[in-house]
Amino acid sequence: MKTTYNVFVISDSSGQTGTALAKTAAAQFPEAYANISQYPFIQTKSILTGILKLAKENQAIIFHTLVDSELSDMVTQFAEENQLFSFDCIQKPIDIISQRLHESSAAVPGLVHDLNAAYFKRIDAIEFTVANDDGRHPENLARADIVILGVSRTSKTPLSLYLANKSYKVANVPIGPNLQLPQEVWDLNPKKVFGLTNSIEKLQEIRAQRMKEYGIENDTRYSNADNIKKELDYAHHLYQKIGCLCIKVADKSIEETASIITESLPKFTQP
């Protein structure tokens, strides 16, 4: 079985340069599988912060092409502080050309691409999704194109960010027997609400690994199979009451789950 590792390509433009470099390097390791995720058009600290948090959770290798040196330094510093591997694909080439010409760069992101309405719509979607992650600001749920519900560790955040890069405004809400569900959920069109579930075994494995990262080796309520079953039973019952589509993510990639969601959306929510 191939070893799988995560690669994040973060760019202030389309991300094609960083993705090409990442794929070229990954091709030299045919016995391993590189799960490459692209995060293009990133030009604000708030959005970058959300992506870096996700990179840490996934122990991702980061390739970045950020013309803004402040954002680039932010990635490098975050990677160093969190023991992540990162590679700056653009600042060194800029420095070399700058030294050769004895002049500063324009430092303008995306000069090789035209900015259009689609670009700004994507940025707006990403900013909305980062701001409304993990149940924050339930008053904004009505403004979301997609609302994702799920118990802990069902990949709500990475799925939300992936869909945001497709220009969907996404809000995700954690659920559980001991969590207060926002009243706003009941006012939503159930066709734009999607409930995530998983197998008991997969969730137990993921959560136990999470506890180990925190230095906790023993079985906890969080990773206990009986407790996980109660959470999943609660989730199934809730999804039935809401009338939303339930998606089991145990055997699906982020891309597959996202495809199910976008194909199930009403036409008026298409980006």
Establish whether 44 is an annotated binding residue.
Answer: no
Establish whether 154 is an annotated binding residue.
Answer: yes
Establish whether 92 is an annotated binding residue.
Answer: no
Establish whether 197 is an annotated binding residue.
Answer: no
Establish whether 156 is an annotated binding residue.
Answer: yes
Establish whether 151 is an annotated binding residue.
Answer: yes
Pairing, β 32-39 against β 86-88: unpaired
Establish whether 153 is an annotated binding residue.
Answer: yes
Half-sphere exposure of 234 (CA within 13 A, CB side): 18
109 Cα distance to chain centroid: 22
Torsion angle in degrees (nearest 10) through CA of 234, 152, 229, 197: 70
Q: Using CA atoms, how far apart are residues 209 and 211, in angstroms rounded to an integer? A: 5
Q: Helices (DSSP H) in the chain: which residue ranges? A: 16-26, 45-57, 69-81, 91-101, 117-131, 156-164, 200-213, 225-242, 254-264
Binding residues: 150-157
Binding residues for ADP: 150-157
